[in-house]
Chains A and B, each alone.
Chain A
Amino acid sequence: MSVLVIAEHDNASIKGATLNTVTAAVACGGDVHVLVAGHNAGAAAAAAAQIAGVAKVIHADATGLAHGLAENVAAQVLALQGNAASNYSHILFPATAGGKNVAPRVAAKLDVAQISDITKVVAADTFERPIYAGNAIATVQSADSVKVITVRATGFDAAAATGGGAAVETAAATADAGKSSYVGSEIAKNDRPELTAAKIIVSGGRALGSKEKFDEVMTPLADKLGAAIGASRAAVDAGYAPNDLQVGQTGKIVAPQLYVAAGISGAIQHLAGMKDSKVIVAINKDPEAPIFSVADYGLEADLFTAVPELVKAL
Chain B
Amino acid sequence: MKVLVPVKRVVDYNVKVRVKSDNTGVDIANVKMSMNPFDEIAVEEAVRLKEKGLVTEVIAVSCGVTQCQETLRTAMAIGADRAILVETPADLDLQPLAVAKLLKALVDKEQPGLVILGKQAIDDDANQVGQMLAALADLPQATNASKVDLAADKVSVTREIDGGLETLALSLPAVITTDLRLNEPRYVTLPNIMKAKKKQLDIVKPEDLGVDVAPRLKTLKVAEPAKRGAGIKVADVAALVEKLKNEAKVI
Q: Which residues of A contact B (CB under 8 A)?
A: 67, 69-71, 74, 96-98, 100-109, 111-117, 126, 130-144, 177-188, 190, 196, 200, 225, 233, 237, 242-244, 249-250, 252, 257-258, 268-269, 275, 278-281, 292, 294-301, 306, 309-310, 313-314
Contact = CB atoms under 8 A, between A and B. Distances in A.
Contact of B231 (A98, A184, A242, A292): A292
A305 B49 CA distance: 47
A183 B222 contact: no
Interface in B214-239: 215-225, 228-229, 231-234, 236-238
B168 interface: yes
B247 to A, nearest CB: 9
Interface SS of chain B: helix, strand, loop or mixed?
A: mixed
Contact of A141 (B142, B218, B228): B218
B164 A186 contact: yes
B230 to A, nearest CB: 9
Interface of B: 11, 13-14, 16-17, 19, 26, 95-97, 100, 119-120, 122-136, 139-144, 146, 156, 159-171, 174, 179-181, 215-225, 228-229, 231-234, 236-238, 240-241, 243-244, 248, 250-251
Contacts of A185: 161, 164-167
B49 to A, nearest CB: 19
Nearest to A17: B162
Contact of A133 (B125, B169, B219): B125
Contacts of A196: 162
Contact of B250 (A138, A250, A279): A279
Contacts of B96: 104, 113-114
B234 A268 contact: no
Contacts of B179: 250
A247 B120 CA distance: 16
A114 to B, nearest CB: 5
B171 to A, nearest CB: 5
Contacts of A314: 241, 251
B141 A70 contact: yes
A278 B240 contact: no
A106 B14 CA distance: 33
A300 to B, nearest CB: 6
11 contacts: A108-B97, A108-B132, A113-B95, A130-B125, A132-B125, A141-B217, A185-B166, A252-B162, A297-B240, A298-B234, A313-B241
A161 B162 CA distance: 21
B136 A108 contact: yes
A116 B244 contact: no
Contacts of A190: 163
Contacts of B221: 138-139
B160 A187 contact: no
B166 A281 contact: no
B244 A135 contact: no
Contacts of B127: 100, 104, 116
A116 B126 contact: yes
B222 A136 contact: yes
B180 A250 contact: yes
Contacts of B136: 108-109
A96 B164 CA distance: 13
Given A109-B135, A141-B220, A268-B13, A186 B165 contact: yes
A313 B237 contact: yes
A275 B19 CA distance: 18
Nearest to B20: A136
A70 B231 CA distance: 44
Nearest to B120: A250
A279 B244 contact: yes
Given A105-B131, A296-B248, 20 more contacts: A97-B159, A100-B127, A101-B144, A103-B131, A126-B220, A131-B124, A132-B125, A136-B222, A139-B221, A143-B218, A179-B139, A183-B156, A186-B165, A186-B166, A188-B164, A242-B164, A280-B228, A292-B231, A297-B243, A298-B234
